[in-house]
Amino acid sequence: MQRLIPVLNNDHVPLHLISVINTLLTAAKEISHRLHQGSLAGTLGSTLDENIQGETQKKLDVVSNQLIKNMLLETNLVHAVASEEEDDVVMGNPDAKYLVAYDPLDGSSNIDINGSVGTIFSILEKPDHCAEGKELFLQTGDEQIAAGYILYGPSSLLVMTTGQGVRVFTLDHTVGEFLLTVDKLNIPADTQEFAVNMSNQRHWTKPMQQYIQDLLSGELGPRKKNFNMRWNAAMVSDVHRVLSRGGIFTYPADCKHPEKPCKLRLLYEANPMSFLVEQAGGRASTGYERIMSLQPTEIHQRVSVIMGSRNEVDTCLDYFKSIPCDRPDAPTA
């Protein structure tokens, strides 16, 4: 089995970019170790603090964020980092050209029940003639040069793209390296599986309500086939399932909190996952726009997400074209 660096070398990925990716993986190995230690590592449970998103931080959220931030900035190859857990960007080497946006521990509510969690990352280049600070990261998803996630499950997996398809690497604990296990990941165009948080159904817009209702109606409904629902409460594991065997994942806008209708962050979650999904032959949309075409206005901007098997996403989008709604899913900070 091939190791990560030779694979990226064969793809002519720049050496400094390989070093940045390798640094992320070094942090991931430490996070994986602490997760597998569980209570023995003393990092389970919550802190008394909230992050910028207004969410109570888990202890391992804080540890993971600090590990990734420190390791990236110590390389001197990173100009700035932006984390879901940080109020503002953190500047690094002024002469470096890489920017890294990341969610240090997606699905952290699963930590204390020994469920799957993951680290999501997106790598950009510093734009020319741009003011320092948050503005550096206000780039569309199309400008990503690499993206991926590390899924900490029964095995620790790296799923990554540099714009040349999607590969899967598995952490071999005996050698301490991520080894190539899937050379090209493709999402089936059709599916009979969906992932959504059904507890919010009553708050969704009419197009999404009708779409999900038609899925639930199964072979007796307009879709004429049965669907299964899967939901892990961690985007990284739900999207991994979609990438592995097809499906549609959605976290739609809702009217529960009109001032904050969307849940997922564009820079740290929606854009990197959309890059992976599109590279694997799938599709990713807000319901109205292609996610990676959106121009960010804030680093913590939220968007609605519909992604996965191409034909099923297209079917879902037909509901948004034909059923009027008041669009509470307009991107908002």
Known binding positions for substrate = 106-109, 197, 263
Rounded-to-integer distance, Cα 42 and Cα 279, Å: 38
Give the residue, 129 or 35, on which the prediction is more confident.
Answer: 35
Give the CA distances from residue 287 to residues 122, 127, 214, 307, 320, in Å, rounded to whole numbers and listed in that order.
Answer: 22, 29, 17, 10, 6
Rounded-to-integer distance, Cα 50 and Cα 225, Å: 43
CATH superfamily of 4-182: Fructose-1,6-Bisphosphatase, subunit A, domain 1 (3.30.540.10)
Give the residue, 37 or 226, on which the prediction is more confident.
Answer: 226
pLDDT at 107: 87
Query: Is the per-residue pLDDT at 58 higher than 90?
Result: no
Known binding positions for Mg(2+) = 84, 103, 105-106, 269
Query: Is the per-residue pLDDT at 322 higher than 80?
Result: yes
Indicate the pLDDT class of residue 332, thresholds 50, 70 and 90.
very low
- Lowest-confidence range among 35-49, 272-286, 298-312? 35-49
Task: Confirm if 196 and 254 have CB atoms less than 8 A apart.
Answer: no
Q: Alpha-carbon Rg of the chain, whole angstroms?
A: 19
Beta-bridged to residue 146, according to DSSP, are 123
- The SS3 call for residue 160 is strand
Task: Dump pLDDT digits (tens) for 161-196.
Answer: 999 999 999 999 899 999 999 999 999 999 999 999
Look up residue 27 and give its two tokens. Answer: 């942090």
CB neighbour list of residue 267: distance below 8 Å, 6 or more residues apart: 82, 101, 122, 137, 296, 299, 300, 301
- The SS3 call for residue 252 is coil
Q: How much is the average pLDDT of 115-144?
A: 94
Class of domain 193-322: alpha beta
What does the domain layout of the chain look like in residue ranges?
4-182, 193-322
Query: Is the per-residue pLDDT at 1 higher than 90?
Result: no
Known binding positions = 84, 103, 105-109, 197, 263, 269
Q: Can you give the length of the chain in residues?
A: 333
Alpha-helical runs (H) found in the chain:
4-10, 15-37, 59-74, 206-216, 235-245, 271-279, 310-322
Q: Whole-model pTM?
A: 0.93
**Identical fold at 4-182 and 193-322?**
no
